[in-house]
Amino acid sequence: MEEQRVKIAGFGGQGIILMAYILGKAVSIYDGKFSAMTEAYGPESRGGACSSQLVISGTEVNYPLVDKADVLIALSQEGYDTFKGIVDEGGTVFYETDLVKNVRHHAKTKVFDIPCTRLAEEMGKKIVANIVMLGFITAKAKIASKEAMLRAIKESVPEKFIALNVSAFEKGYAHALERTAGKKPKGVVK
């Protein structure tokens, strides 16, 4: 398997690092592949620019950093602007519909916009926006299997929030499938 390089960017507090952690855990523990995750953040605990990166491979990961990304997940305009340049031509970009407004990309790049914060707000908890995003990505990009992702989520979040996170994941996943079927996503006004 070829290496897949994923970059996730956003604000501190959005769960950027947790996203990469869950993705990496699903891949390396439950899918039997290898992954290395690194993170970068500023001294602030909330609100500063934050990014995490994940390298996924069928063999042991040698070079752990992401200079050229196959997948970019942007949850903030700043994150998108900083890292849009490193996306490969044939790569994929996932971005937050409401937080990333100004999108310019290469014609060959696949682009998906996900209103994950809004979907999470519909569930009553804005903080699971990142997990909604993960659900969408699992359906659209072949990074990790759904079963592995669900197990990784259950292993990574506090026990009393497992149900919430799993339903958030399912919501993102279902949203992705609806998009594939060409339906207008339910409950989302764009």
For residues 43 and 83, what is the distance between their CA atoms, to the nearest angstrom?
20
User: Considering only residues 13, 47, 58, 65, which one is a binding residue for another protein as defined by CB under 8 A?
Assistant: 65
For residues 9 and 49, what is the distance between their CA atoms, to the nearest angstrom?
8
The one segment of 62-70, 72-80, 127-135, 143-151 that binds another protein by CB under 8 A: 62-70
Q: How far is CA 46 from the centre of its chain?
A: 19
The one segment of 57-65, 78-86, 161-169, 173-181 that binds another protein by CB under 8 A: 57-65
49 sits near another protein (criterion: CB under 8 A)? no
Q: Which is nearer to another protein, 27 or 99 (CB)?
A: 27
The one segment of 37-45, 99-107, 117-125, 174-182 that binds another protein by CB under 8 A: 37-45
29 sits near another protein (criterion: CB under 8 A)? yes
Q: Which is nearer to another protein, 19 or 119 (CB)?
A: 19
Q: How many residues touch another protein (CB under 8 A)?
A: 22
61 sits near another protein (criterion: CB under 8 A)? yes
Smallest distance, another protein to C-beta of residue 63, A: 6
Could you tell me if 53 and 65 are in contact, meaning their C-beta atoms sit under 8 angstroms apart? yes
Q: Amino acid identity, residue 66?
A: V
Long-range CB pairs of 69-73 (<8 Å, 24+ gap) are 69/5, 69/6, 69/7, 70/4, 70/5, 70/6, 71/4, 71/5, 71/6, 71/7, 71/137, 71/141, 71/143, 72/6, 72/7, 72/8, 72/9, 73/6, 73/7, 73/8, 73/9, 73/19, 73/133, 73/137
User: Considering only residues 13, 64, 90, 187, which one is a binding residue for another protein as defined by CB under 8 A?
Assistant: 64
User: Considering only residues 13, 47, 58, 63, which one is a binding residue for another protein as defined by CB under 8 A?
Assistant: 63
User: Considering only residues 5, 7, 25, 171, which one is a binding residue for another protein as defined by CB under 8 A?
Assistant: 25
The token duo for 108 is: 């060959």
Q: Is 154 exposed, middle or buried (0-12, 13-18, 19+ CB in 10 A)?
A: middle
Binding site for another protein (CB under 8 A): 20-21, 24-25, 28-29, 34-43, 61-65, 152
